[in-house]
């Protein structure tokens, strides 16, 4: 007999939450690499503004544009510092979580059962700082975690790949057992009928002969 379908409400206040303090921060070289990229851009702006002041009659216009771009670069660097401090990742037994955002803070969790492919990307600047970007691809968008050390990214890639394969094997085994399980048949037996009692005469009454 099948069990009755139950769909009881849950108290959301008692559900477990992600431990915020357990999130791992990115490698410190990631912020250094981004600030160096900003400094390179600022140097290009200064050189370009200085060159334009020598060839245009309105010498103050390139200077004004250069100051504006430098101010924007400084603001971007400050925001990048806050952004990098907010980024983190958390690896648990059955899922991978990624935290990001400054104004709009987001936490995305991907179960290992959904992971279809894991890859590592390294650009020229990242290679020079020993950094890598870990990508978890799913049927949807997946996750992209930048700013990891190359060694950590390699170990996490191996871990996520192994966990995803193990979860997929468990789900396949469970599905196989459900599909090939023998149907449950409740055993039922007819009540055993007692044979009719024979008339037996007691010693005092004597034998029963015919009718009375």
Q: Whole-model pTM?
A: 0.67
List, for residues 6-47, the tens digit of each pLDDT value: 888 888 887 777 777 789 999 999 999 988 888 888 888 778
CATH number at residue 41: 2.30.29
Alpha-helix residue ranges (DSSP H) falling in 87-210: 124-128, 150-179
The reply to whether 117 falls in a domain is yes
Please determine, for residue 157, whether its predicted confidence score (pLDDT) is greater than 70.
Answer: yes
Question: Which residues lie below 8 Å from residue 86, measured CB to CB, with a gap of 6+?
Answer: 99, 100, 101, 102, 105
The reply to whether 32 falls in a domain is yes
Query: Which run of H or E residues covers position 167?
Result: helix 150-179
Q: What domain range is 111 assigned to?
A: 21-179
List, for residues 99-136, the tens digit of each pLDDT value: 998 888 899 999 998 898 999 999 898 999 999 999 99
Tell me how long the chain is: 212
The reply to whether 200 falls in a domain is no
DSSP single-letter state for residue 56: S
The reply to whether 10 falls in a domain is no
């Amino acid at each position: 007999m099948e069990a009755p379908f139950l769909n009881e409400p849950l108290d959301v206040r008692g559900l477990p939450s992600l431990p915020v303090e357990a999130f791992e921060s990115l490698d410190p070289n990631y912020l250094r690499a981004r600030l160096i990229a900003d400094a390179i851009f600022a140097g290009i702006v200064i050189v370009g503004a200085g060159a334009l002041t020598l060839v245009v009659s309105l010498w103050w216009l390139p200077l004004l544009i250069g100051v504006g771009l430098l101010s924007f670069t400084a603001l971007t660097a400050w925001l990048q510092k806050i952004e990098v401090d907010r980024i983190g990742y958390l690896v648990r037994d059955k899922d991978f979580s990624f935290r990001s955002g400054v104004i709009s803070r987001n936490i995305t969790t991907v179960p290992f059962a959904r992971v279809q492919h894991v890859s590592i990307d390294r650009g020229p600047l990242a290679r020079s700082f020993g950094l890598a970007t870990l990508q978890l691809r799913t049927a949807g968008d997946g996750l992209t975690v930048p700013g990891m050390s190359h060694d950590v990214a390699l170990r996490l890639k191996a871990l996520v790949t192994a966990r995803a394969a193990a979860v997929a094997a468990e789900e396949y085994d469970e599905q196989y057992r459900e599909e090939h399980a023998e149907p449950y048949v409740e055993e039922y037996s007819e009540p055993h009928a007692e044979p009719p009692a024979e008339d037996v005469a007691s010693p005092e009454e004597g034998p029963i002969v015919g009718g009375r």
